[in-house]
């Protein structure tokens, strides 16, 4: 199993939920209005640092993880200017 952590900064988070659904991610948790700092700058939802992100965590079978990652990479290449998606894949030994 793999745990995917997906961070999307943009106006249409349904782009990511649609991909998760299409690739049969049987469950995920979505965190809206996430703030942070990264390679694209600060996102704090304030006047000084506008913008917010949405974060998803999903446990998927290893056999599906690479396919999902590739679809997320393709979606990333189609994002409008200023929108970003970042994905981390971590090994998961147990999930219950």
Model pLDDT for residues 52-83, shown as the tens digit of each residue = 899 999 999 999 899 999 999 999 999 999 89
Residue 37 pairs in a beta bridge with 42
The predicted model scores a pTM of 0.88
The tokens of 69 are what? 């990652």
Model pLDDT for residues 11-55, shown as the tens digit of each residue = 899 999 999 999 999 899 999 999 888 877 777 777 887 778 999
2 contacts 67 by C-beta, under 8 angstroms: no
Specify the DSSP class assigned to residue 78.
T
Strands (DSSP E) along 1-96, which ranges? 2-9, 29-34, 36-38, 41-43, 53-60, 84-91
């Amino acid at each position: 199993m793999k745990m995917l952590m997906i961070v999307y900064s943009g106006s249409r988070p349904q782009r990511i939920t649609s991909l998760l659904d299409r690739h049969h991610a049987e469950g995920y948790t979505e965190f809206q209005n996430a703030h942070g700092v990264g390679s694209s700058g600060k996102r704090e939802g304030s006047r000084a640092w506008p913008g917010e992100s949405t974060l998803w965590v999903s446990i998927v079978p290893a056999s599906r993880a690479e396919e999902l990652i590739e679809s997320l990479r393709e979606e990333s290449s189609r994002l409008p200017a200023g929108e970003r998606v970042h994905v981390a894949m971590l090994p998961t030994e147990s999930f219950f």
